[in-house]
Structure 1
């Protein structure tokens, strides 16, 4: 019984319970637009995608599900985003209570807590920022939809709320069949969504640090600095590369005016890092843009936020490790701080295991489908990174492949935090050390 209460198992089981409960609710006749019970697979796939805040769908959210069904979907990805953020905080609290002071200090970064006494502050910030941003963005979108698109107040309010919650939780669900393509030329719609995506995905430890030390960047934690720098580099680099790759593409940016090209390249760069909305036709993008999406989706957003992927902090640590090795330095350093060896090992572990999951998922889909390899890779990384972007093949995959995607979504969402906590909890000093040798590398 004790092992079942292990914090990492508790997180995994709570998300599994939410998925099963969501599946049951979506199979009710009242959840279906036609008043009939939905089959198991569409309900299960949608529930997994919502709880794991992914956004991949095999049925159209706006037409397949009734108002009740859409509300259930929204509650599921609200739980998925808010629940994972609080789960990261609770895991940090459990770890810190059970470990000695020295180990606490080592595991603060790994469990995403900023300090031994900061857990309650982060929890309050999670609730406050979630409510403020979701309600504010919902109000902005509602006003825009009513006055610019002449939607009735009730319809505008529901659409604004749904897309606001979906954006802040990086869920990527939309009640429109074309996602946000119909708003591709409307900065007043896309910019608020972009703000919600970035704030929700940057991670609450970073937001907490910024709130406490907003005027003193010198004392920001190394995690905050790495996340902010990494996020800026990824967003700016993605924007410039997408702009170059799609500038003349007649299926995406080609027909647009320059301001709209800039807007949509920026939106695509933001959304590629696990948000899952699209204002451009992903299937019409160039292969260069798909390849860029592979990388952006795999990295994802900040730790203990609503985004998925292996996380910006993990990628930053790996870059610092490579730079140190190339320079012949024994330590990985940044901003006057040394990255702990345990953080480096854990970053490598997350990278290797994440890559292995993508390879296995890709091989499975290649064996069971006839779609092009690049489209399958896109779908697999989108599922594992809990992104939700698709080249348009998700609904046409065989049931076995769709179930594989649900497994990737679950592992990609729940596995990241539980793996990090397990590594932190499992770290211990051995009472002996073997003689050292240096195997040949390269």
Structure 2
């Protein structure tokens, strides 16, 4: 079996295993067995680090159920094959070739770097989650008077969700009670940004730092690192500015807030739209223009090989570079003084168009099943595909058939790009002849 197919199979089996656990009476707060549709939807959302829910997480699930959700999110965020390889490395001290290939297909990391990368990924994950959990627990305890047990519980839960870009919250209104509290929103946003830039970027930054300390020399950044950081920063800034401008006077969202709180919440919403899923303002009360802008950010998503979803910022950057080259009349497209290979452009175009087609088809299907505004349904579909978890409330009222559509979307959004790009790379062929050239009319 091709490693990419093995990744998809592993995620599918993990979703089914999570469904079985959440179907136990022990997983529900009232001791009753959860419905199969509810358990399947929640387990798929967790393993795909999405965050969309059909029930109130904190009120519906017991401590055991919440623990299952946290475990699934952590496994899904790191990657099943990546986590399995890490455990094998820690226990046996070595990796077999088959497991190495599977982890490489999932994490998009070179085989030669895999051992060192896995250890650094584990270290970064533990450090970021512990620091975020400590900051949140201290704030919940000292700022809101929660008991230490409750504060630590809530801090740890939201820390895991933030770093893995999942939007599960222990309150039905997510983080809206903390809309004016930077001590809660900024640590969450920081963990989301770190988790969303991707493991290859984090590891390369750490490697450059180590080499600079050892040799005193600076080495140039890779094209992937430059694209990820520049495009992520640009999208984060643009999302903040647009959200602030569009929601400034909206009485249902930013209208009653002071200037500082408006800026804070605009930044927080822009960061969450990069596939995190927490909200500090009422999404359903936002302007239609804001919802559409958020859909664009969710569709693009975060960095490749990260805990985020979407088509990824590098895919977006490659397409933008190709458009700019065509406008300028240049024969090839490039960025940062590097020429982009033609097959990279074809792969980016395939991933993007496949995503657009899937979103449109799913939106049409859901519109025939639910009675909701079109922009709300589109928002929910893009949120599922981008594994974001932001919701206008439509998911709570979905019939079982519509829930299955969303389950498929979440699954494809998480493992689809990995499988598709790996399959395209595997089918790359060289032809020994060239067909006659002809140009159809464009536009």
TM score, norm. by length of structure 2: 0.92
Q: Deviations over 1:231-272 (max 9, x none)?
A: 011000000000000111111111011111111000000001
Q: Deviations over 1:75-106 (max 9, x none)?
A: 1111110116828999xx869979xxxxxxxx
Partners of 2:232 and 2:60 in 1: how far apart? Answer: 36
* 1:167 Cα deviation from its structure 2 partner: 0.2
* 1:288 Cα deviation from its structure 2 partner: 1.0
Partner SS state of residue 368, structure 2: helix
Q: How many aligned positions are there? A: 426
* 1:299 Cα deviation from its structure 2 partner: 0.2
Structure 1 unpaired stretches of 5+: 99-107
Q: Deviations over 1:217-239 (max 9, x none)?
A: 76111011011110011000000
Give the aligned partner of residue 89 of structure 2. none
Does the C-alpha gap of structure 1 residues 244 and 388 become closer, same or farther in structure 2, counting only changes over 3 Å? same
Pick from 186, 194, 199 the counterpart of residue 189 of structure 2.
194
Partners of 1:281 and 1:326 in 2: how far apart? Answer: 40
Give the aligned partner of residue 293 of structure 1. 294
Report if the CA contact (8 A) 1:59-1:395 is conserved: yes
5 Å-filtered alignment, 1:79-98, equals: 79-83=75-79, 86=82
Residue 269 of structure 1 pairs with residue 270 of structure 2? yes
* 1:400 Cα deviation from its structure 2 partner: 1.0
Partners of 1:202 and 1:127 in 2: how far apart? Answer: 15
Partners of 1:16 and 1:434 in 2: how far apart? Answer: 42
Residue 75 of structure 1 pairs with residue 76 of structure 2? no
Report if the CA contact (8 A) 1:111-1:424 is conserved: no
User: Which piece of structure 1 moves more, 265-274 or 142-151?
Assistant: 142-151
Does the C-alpha gap of structure 1 residues 412 and 147 become closer, same or farther in structure 2, counting only changes over 3 Å? same
Give the aligned partner of residue 408 of structure 2. 407
Report if the CA contact (8 A) 1:110-1:343 is conserved: no
Post-superposition, which runs of at least 4 consecutive aligned residues in structure 1 deviate over 4 A? 87-90, 93-98, 108-111, 214-218
5 Å-filtered alignment, 1:335-414, equals: 335-414=336-415
Residue 49 of structure 1 pairs with residue 45 of structure 2? yes
Give the aligned partner of residue 161 of structure 1. 156
Does the C-alpha gap of structure 1 residues 110 and 276 become closer, same or farther in structure 2, counting only changes over 3 Å? closer
Give the aligned partner of residue 321 of structure 2. 320
Pick from 54, 74, 81 the counterpart of residue 58 of structure 1.
54
Does the C-alpha gap of structure 1 residues 338 and 344 become closer, same or farther in structure 2, counting only changes over 3 Å? same
Partners of 1:318 and 1:406 in 2: how far apart? Answer: 28
Does the C-alpha gap of structure 1 residues 290 and 97 become closer, same or farther in structure 2, counting only changes over 3 Å? closer
Partner SS state of residue 368, structure 1: coil
TM score, norm. by length of structure 1: 0.92
Report if the CA contact (8 A) 1:95-1:425 is conserved: no
